Amino acid sequence: MTDNRGDILRLLYEIKEAGASFYKTPEKLLNKIAKLQAHQGDTLMGFVASALESDQPDTRLLDKIIAELNIMAQSMIIKGEIKPVSVSELPGIGKKATEALAKAHIETIEDIIYHLPYRYEYIGESRSGKKALTGIFQSGAIVTTRNRKRMYKAVFTSDFGMFAAVWFRFSAGYPASALKEGKKYTLYGQSGSFSGMESIIHPQFMSESEMGKIIPVYSIPKIVAQKTYIGAVNAALDKYLTDIPDYLPARLEEQYKFPTAKAALLEIHRPKNPYELEMLTERRHPAAMRFIYEELFYLQMGLLYKKRSYERQAGTSLDIKKEYLDWIKGLLPFKFTNAQRRVMVDIFNDMSATGQMNRLIQGDVGSGKTIVAFTAGLVAVKNGYQVAVIAPTEVLARQHMENLIKLLQGTDITSALLTGSMTPAEKRRTKEIIAAGHVDFVVGTHAVIQETADFNKLGLAIIDEQHRFGVEQRKSLIEKGYMPDILLMTATPIPRTLALSFYGDLDISVIDELPPGRTPIKTSSVERIEKVYKLMREEIAKGHGIYIIYPLIENSEKLDLKAATDEHRKLSEVFGVENVGLLHGRMKQEQKSQLMDGFKAGKLQILVSTTVIEVGVDVPQATVMIIENSERFGLSQLHQLRGRVGRSDRQSYCILVSGEHISEEANERINAMCQHADGFKLSEIDLEMRGPGDFFGTRQSGLPEFRFSNIVRDVRVLQNAREDASAILTDDPELSHSKNTVIKEVLIRKWRKELQYIEIG
């Protein structure tokens, strides 16, 4: 291949400078790409030809062209790479094993080499309490202990006296059939004592040649034998170890005294020192730490590179005039908390700067994130811009619209709702007035940005519940030719370490204070809802509303869950059919709206619902949240549901109803809810219990997968990696210095699927 890397890098720079206009009028740059020598990449030239044939190429096709250019430019540098060979090429890995391993995400040679053991067996005396004993078998029999447990006990003699081997799990054929009187055996297992005699519990029979060996144990499907898998790992190492590249620059390896990638993998898969096994298992050994650091370093490099690219993009520079803020204060019936004021200072500093704002507001339920975002929106409108308010569900979009209408009452500021359930005619008319600039606030679901809505002058996009949106939604705004300031909100409190990993490309502000006058919610747990009937009647008598939440709509015998439909009938008999409503996800939007309006107006006292009310519904007179089968909900979800009450100065209650026989983990969640009201404290407990991979339920798009690291365990490594990445980017923002060539190259390789977000923001 002729090295046209310079030409390719120049083209990538031109695409980056063109920004959104590349997606609108790409022809000129596509023609330049087409002039590259054809053998530079048949795939690339195919994409370019397809794009040139189209009047308006699809943005995904243009993204693929950018990705191919980057991959091509960078592949000319790095030395060594494992070819994408299937694990089926390895000895002992047949069709069934290949299929089973694929389900465990072990599909290639690279996957098998980087799939590390989760523990080790040392055949000999070690700190784990296991030991090996050699002796001559004397006798064996089934013995019943004092507490009536049956076991098989075998007695051996050795040069040091007598010892026993004990099996609590035995059969008619084992271990008795494996033992011959007068024969010498070496047994390995957990050491202990039985009836005053030195014993080995559930030993393995070993050959003397196996003594002193260290055997790695891997987390793999049961269909694949450990011995077979170890043979495959060793075959892969023997054949492909020399192809493994060193992704970390030598200076970082030296700084942390890490071994090279090849040496580290040999140490992990074939350890020699039994006294280092504990460090290897706990991922504290330098060989394991090397890969943890490398993974987190490139994660932070990618996030910080993206963050700096946002900052370099020209956004909307707004005037934050005192007269605007005084006018906004006049619209509000309350004063901002200190936390809200602090966050608004962050936002206004961003909005007045020339770069594009990309800020995430974190705040517990009821902390007042929405009014802070609307205040930013009013400032944008006063500067002559439009504002998009984007919600994950239509229920929440309509809630935002209602709140906006109240806020804007008596002003000349206009707003419009745009959602998926509108008729084609309603959508068309709404889009026309948005495009003409007759609407200041546009509120809706992701249809606002993913469909054909065009803005006249978009200055600010407010995206609610950010963890339900990936980077795609932000990117689609840029593709439409807009470069608005972006303000993201989440009511899911996120521990700082997790925020650095998932939102490290954003600036983060935290509202950590609730508005004054809020009475703490009393949270308790019961085994049956009938125990709460007295409280329910008392609250109904005061004119207060009650939520009752169920995890399912229909009966499921398998899970033994109470169905919302069945309970609705039962509660209607107890409290009166006219007082109880049923809300669920399968209802039409019009039915949902009518039901919610009735509940808000006090026509219904009890709302039986599935979790469609989890986010956004605001009914100040609702004071009781009863969650049936609470053991089936996650901690974050329970906290979100609790946040639907306690939204006034009235005393509110959250009752967690769960069965008698629940798991230890579910019991921990319920106890945590009863003990803690602080969402950030609960999020830390949630993170500890579930681990980072499951914290969001689904991974946010636009992030590489974690292979080695656990940010709960590896928080210090994460912080070091971020500091190192930040220092490198401060010194060399474009990673153009020769000492950073490998970093730039690996950054692109590791973020290959997310390349367009790194290269063009």
pLDDT digits (tens, 9 = 90+) for 406-429: 999 989 999 999 888 888 899 889
pLDDT-based confidence at residue 704 (cuts at 50, 70, 90): low
Is residue 181's pLDDT more than 50?
yes
CB-based contact 374:508 (threshold 8 Å)? no
Pairing of strands 580-583, 606-609: parallel
pLDDT-based confidence at residue 723 (cuts at 50, 70, 90): very high
CB-based contact 653:667 (threshold 8 Å)? no
Higher-confidence position of 42 and 290:
290
Q: What are phi and psi of 463, to 5 degrees?
A: -110, 120
Q: What is the pLDDT of residue 5?
A: 57
pTM of the model as a whole: 0.65
Report the amino acid identity of residue 143: V
pLDDT-based confidence at residue 558 (cuts at 50, 70, 90): very low
> What percent of the chain is predicted at pLDDT more than 90?
38
Q: Which residues contact 433 (CB under 8 A, 6 or more apart)?
A: 416, 439
CA dist 103 and 96 (Å) reads: 11
Q: What are phi and psi of 625, to 5 degrees?
A: -120, 110
Considering the segment(s) 337-346+353-511 as one domain, its CATH architecture is 3-Layer(aba) Sandwich (3.40)
Looking at residues 213-219, what average pLDDT do you find? Answer: 92
Q: What is the pLDDT of residue 468?
A: 47
Q: What is the pLDDT of residue 205?
A: 87
Is residue 165's pLDDT more than 90?
yes
Q: Please, what is the average pLDDT of the chain?
A: 84
Q: Which residues contact 627 (CB under 8 A, 6 or more apart)?
A: 549, 633, 638, 641, 654, 655, 656, 657
Q: What is the pLDDT of residue 560?
A: 43
Looking at residues 281-291, what average pLDDT do you find? Answer: 95
Residue ranges in 5-81 assigned as alpha helix (H)? 5-18, 21-24, 27-34, 42-53, 59-74
Is residue 756's pLDDT more than 70?
no
Q: What is the pLDDT of residue 755?
A: 41
Q: Which of 35-44, 275-284, 658-667 has the lowest mean pLDDT?
A: 35-44
pLDDT-based confidence at residue 760 (cuts at 50, 70, 90): very low
706 to each of 287, 307, 589, how far by Cα in Å? 17, 20, 39
Query: How many CB atoms are closer than 10 A to CB 365?
Result: 20
Residue ranges, comma separated, of all CATH 3.40.50.300 domains in the chain are 337-346+353-511, 522-676
State the DSSP code for 556. Answer: B
Residue ranges, comma separated, of all CATH 2.40.50.140 domains in the chain are 130-210
- pLDDT (tens digit, 9 = 90+) per residue, 239-279? 999 888 888 888 898 899 999 999 999 999 999 988 898 89
SS3 of 247, please? Answer: coil
Q: What is the pLDDT of residue 559?
A: 43
Which tokens sit at 19? 């920004």
Is residue 557's pLDDT more than 60?
no
Which tokens sit at 482? 């807009």
Looking at residues 102-113, what average pLDDT do you find? Answer: 92
Higher-confidence position of 125 and 646:
646
Is residue 691's pLDDT more than 70?
no
Looking at residues 355-374, what average pLDDT do you find? Answer: 88
Is residue 43's pLDDT more than 90?
no
Higher-confidence position of 259 and 17:
259
CB-based contact 390:463 (threshold 8 Å)? yes
Is residue 472's pLDDT more than 80?
no
Of the candidates 757, 732, 756, the one whose C-alpha atom is nearest the C-alpha of residue 744 is 732
| Superfamily for the 130-210 domain | Nucleic acid-binding proteins (2.40.50.140)
Q: What is the pLDDT of residue 123?
A: 78
Is residue 125's pLDDT more than 70?
no
Q: What is the pLDDT of residue 757?
A: 42
Is residue 552's pLDDT more than 80?
no
Q: What is the pLDDT of residue 405?
A: 93
HSE (CB half, 13 Å, CA atoms) of 249? 18
pLDDT-based confidence at residue 555 (cuts at 50, 70, 90): low
SS3 of 256, please? Answer: helix
Q: What is the pLDDT of residue 693?
A: 53
Looking at residues 63-68, what average pLDDT do you find? Answer: 82
Q: What is the pLDDT of residue 653?
A: 96
Looking at residues 541-566, what average pLDDT do you find? Answer: 72
- pLDDT (tens digit, 9 = 90+) per residue, 582-615? 887 777 877 887 888 888 888 899 998 876 554 4
Q: What is the pLDDT of residue 4?
A: 58
Looking at residues 461-467, what average pLDDT do you find? Answer: 76
Q: What is the pLDDT of residue 200?
A: 92
pLDDT-based confidence at residue 436 (cuts at 50, 70, 90): very high
Is residue 201's pLDDT more than 70?
yes
CB-based contact 549:609 (threshold 8 Å)? yes
Q: What is the pLDDT of residue 614?
A: 46
| Superfamily for the 522-676 domain | P-loop containing nucleotide triphosphate hydrolases (3.40.50.300)
- Residue in this structure with the two tokens 């004990």, named with its chain if needed: 166
Report the amino acid identity of residue 420: G
pLDDT-based confidence at residue 519 (cuts at 50, 70, 90): confident
Q: What is the pLDDT of residue 553?
A: 52
Q: What is the pLDDT of residue 139?
A: 94
- Residue in this structure with the two tokens 């190429």, named with its chain if needed: 57
Q: If residue 417 lies in a helix (H) or strand (E), which one and from where to where?
A: strand 415-418
Of the candidates 736, 739, 755, the one whose C-alpha atom is nearest the C-alpha of residue 747 is 755
Which tokens sit at 22? 């590349």
Of the candidates 394, 401, 384, the one whose C-alpha atom is nearest the C-alpha of residue 457 is 384
